[in-house]
Structure 1
Amino acid sequence: METKQAFNVVIVGQNGRLQYEAALFAASFRTANPRFPGKLFVAEPQPGPLWQGDPRIGDAAVRELLERLEAQILPFENRQFGKDYPYGNKIEMLSALPKGEPFVFFDTDTLILDDLTKVPFEFDRPSASLKVEGTWPQIELYGPGYTAIWKSLYDKFGLDFESSLDLGKPDEYWRRYLYFNAGFFYYRCPHEFGARFFDYATAIRNDPPDEIICQNMDPWLDQVALPLVIHSFGGGRDALEPGWLDGRTSCHYRFLPLLYAREEQRVVDVLEEVSAPNWVKKVLKGYEPMKRMIYQGKGAKARALFDRDNLPRREQAIRNQLKREKLWLR
């Protein structure tokens, strides 16, 4: 009998939208992975000076559902990030995970579609999501180009820039440069990865190279630091065979209206299957967008607006059409 690779899965859950997304993630995860050999953690930021109010999961029904789904709530403290940059949670929570145990992080707005132990992770070679657009940097007419900007960051941390390039892409085209969406990433040890991610992100924020002084780092800081961290550990864009994550095993849908508008029917079927049991439904209905999209038919109306074989090229066009129909619920 084949022994399944053991690793942990972690998402971030906190008060507001993310707690309900965490519940939906956990429901999809357990449906697809009923005998998962590792742990499912929901990392939860704790109150402190970097937050206004309490960031912890505030709905008691969500906490009960997560417990029933065998998700372990994992408290962590914010040392540098908080209300002003909540994306930093995915950096700071890594130090709370079990040291030396391989992990996969997912953004909370993700559905798990199949058995994660089938994914051929090489935990010694980290990678992250390539489901990404050229969101950073934004090149100014008389400013430095992609090469100068990215090279300044590699140089700052003593990393080899040339070996990070995809030489099959043209010079000054954004895909030539290592860039990921932080919707998932993984490595053999969360403490090693997290310490370097924390150091790189805070150094870029606090002492940026001259070439990026005019660049907007909010919300892009984590995605600027991430490729540098991955490259420093010997990972890269080719470390994971394509088609597994952001494919047949997971879907980073981001917002439910976008899921209904553009994802394949299999994803919608999984969403509606895992959200159907009454013990799940009564919790998810506590979040108005889920109540309306999943249970009151707004999702089906959003889906009917689009031809999945001929979607608008730009996501903004999809959003605009959903907004016109009053179906942009988030």
Structure 2
Amino acid sequence: MSGQNYNIMIVGQSGRLMFEAVLFAASLRQTNPGFRGRLCVAVPQPGPLWARDPSIRNEPVLEALSRLDAEILPFESQHFGQSYPYGNKIEALSVLPEGEPFVFFDTDTLITGDLGKVPFDFSRPSASLRREGTWPTPTLYGPGYADIWRALYGRFNLDFDSSLDLDQPDEYWKRYLYFNAGYFFGACPRAFGRRFLDYARSIRDDPPVEIVGQSLDPWLDQVALPLVIHSFGGGRDTLPDGYLDGHTSCHYRTFPLLYARESDHVVATLEEVCAPNKIKKVLKTYEPIKRLVYQGKGHRVRALFDQDNLPRREQAIRNRIKSEGLWMR
């Protein structure tokens, strides 16, 4: 596996994420039966930052995860919790084995190919480039992209200029290091997590004046992540294109979007993974999988679109699905 073992972490909790966790684990075991690392499902525990118990208490789900050799790793929410559940991926890194390379995936991901072919360089971390220019949203009178990002790099004594993609024009969002947090990887989860937590809390609790008025919900993790990656010597080009978010994994986001825009291979992988009876008994209790996969309505969604000529904006895809009464999450 890329010349070394590594662990995979996802975050699972009650509700949608626990079913996605089962699907993720099943897809990993089907496509990578020889995976040598640990599959860790980090689960937030009840506490003062949660109004309801977020832990997984569904016995069939827990049994399915156990059969799939997924390890449940409980963790305490000390800084985010219900007010910012995306912070789970930051705080959960503290329970992974120290000093062992890791890859984090959002649970709404399918493993679709051989992870052993992915040329990870864990000493140079990176994250998903399957993203849109969602943050920041500069105002007419400024500050612009460069001033906003320069202020953030300066907050943590990082070299801003070396993070730029000089092939992109000034004040175009792709010029600035920006990731989707659907996956990221690094050499040590605890070192990565400590810095991720420090940066995120600093930005949230004491934002630079240049970002006052910019929304950090839900973008806080994606604002801090490029700073963390840059601080560890990583960047946008440390993993070649075509592997994660490509031949080897698919961050599908929602099942209607999967059927609308992903490849035939991804759809076939989803349906093959869902087919075994032991998996089906668990997943059919989750309404979107029941209707779209087991009742076949996903193919009605797929027929609405030409997968080789999709609308440029995701919102247009969502609106079309909703107009047909087939949107669900």
Q: Output the TM-score relative to the length of structure 2.
A: 0.99
* Corresponding residue number in structure 2 for 1:131: 130
**1:41 aligned onto 2:36:** no
* Corresponding residue number in structure 2 for 1:60: 59
* Secondary structure, aligned partner of 2:250: strand
| Distance in structure 2 (CA, Å) of the matches to 1:318 and 1:218 | 23
* Corresponding residue number in structure 2 for 1:120: 119
How far is 1:5 from its partner? Answer: 2.3
**1:316 aligned onto 2:315:** yes
How far is 1:304 from its partner? Answer: 0.6
Opposite residue 186 of structure 2, the aligned amino acid is Y
**1:235 aligned onto 2:234:** yes
**1:160 aligned onto 2:159:** yes
How far is 1:3 from its partner? Answer: 8.7
* Corresponding residue number in structure 2 for 1:13: 12
| Distance in structure 2 (CA, Å) of the matches to 1:141 and 1:4 | 49
Contact map agreement 1:5 1:117 (CA 8 A) in 2: no
Distance change (3 Å), C-alpha of 1:318 and 1:16: same
How far is 1:58 from its partner? Answer: 2.8
* Corresponding residue number in structure 1 for 2:206: 207
* Corresponding residue number in structure 1 for 2:77: 78
Opposite residue 257 of structure 2, the aligned amino acid is L
Opposite residue 73 of structure 1, the aligned amino acid is I
**Percent identity (aligned):** 68
Aligned length: 329
* Secondary structure, aligned partner of 2:110: strand
**1:87 aligned onto 2:104:** no
* Corresponding residue number in structure 2 for 1:25: 24
How far is 1:228 from its partner? Answer: 0.1
| Distance in structure 2 (CA, Å) of the matches to 1:289 and 1:260 | 12
Distance change (3 Å), C-alpha of 1:3 and 1:242: closer
How far is 1:169 from its partner? Answer: 0.3
* Corresponding residue number in structure 2 for 1:296: 295
Opposite residue 273 of structure 1, the aligned amino acid is E
Give matches, 1:95-110, under 5 Å: 95-110=94-109
Moved more, 86-95 or 28-37: 28-37
| Distance in structure 1 (CA, Å) of the matches to 2:283 and 2:3 | 32
Contact map agreement 2:2 2:120 (CA 8 A) in 1: no
Post-superposition CA distance 1:29-71 (Å, at most 9, x none): 1001111111000000001000011001132111000000000
Moved more, 185-194 or 54-63: 54-63
Post-superposition CA distance 1:209-243 (Å, at most 9, x none): 00001100000000000000000000000111111
How far is 1:246 from its partner? Answer: 0.2
Distance change (3 Å), C-alpha of 1:3 and 1:313: closer
| Distance in structure 2 (CA, Å) of the matches to 1:101 and 1:118 | 19
How far is 1:4 from its partner? Answer: 5.1
How far is 1:192 from its partner? Answer: 0.6
| Distance in structure 1 (CA, Å) of the matches to 2:114 and 2:188 | 22
Contact map agreement 1:5 1:37 (CA 8 A) in 2: no
How far is 1:179 from its partner? Answer: 0.1
| Distance in structure 1 (CA, Å) of the matches to 2:73 and 2:216 | 28
* Secondary structure, aligned partner of 1:83: helix
The ranges of structure 1 where at least 4 consecutive aligned residues each deviate by more than 2 angstroms after the TM superposition are 2-5
| Distance in structure 2 (CA, Å) of the matches to 1:3 and 1:292 | 38
| Distance in structure 2 (CA, Å) of the matches to 1:70 and 1:177 | 39
| Distance in structure 2 (CA, Å) of the matches to 1:279 and 1:54 | 26
Contact map agreement 1:24 1:111 (CA 8 A) in 2: yes
* Corresponding residue number in structure 2 for 1:248: 247
Moved more, 80-89 or 115-124: 115-124
Contact map agreement 2:7 2:37 (CA 8 A) in 1: yes
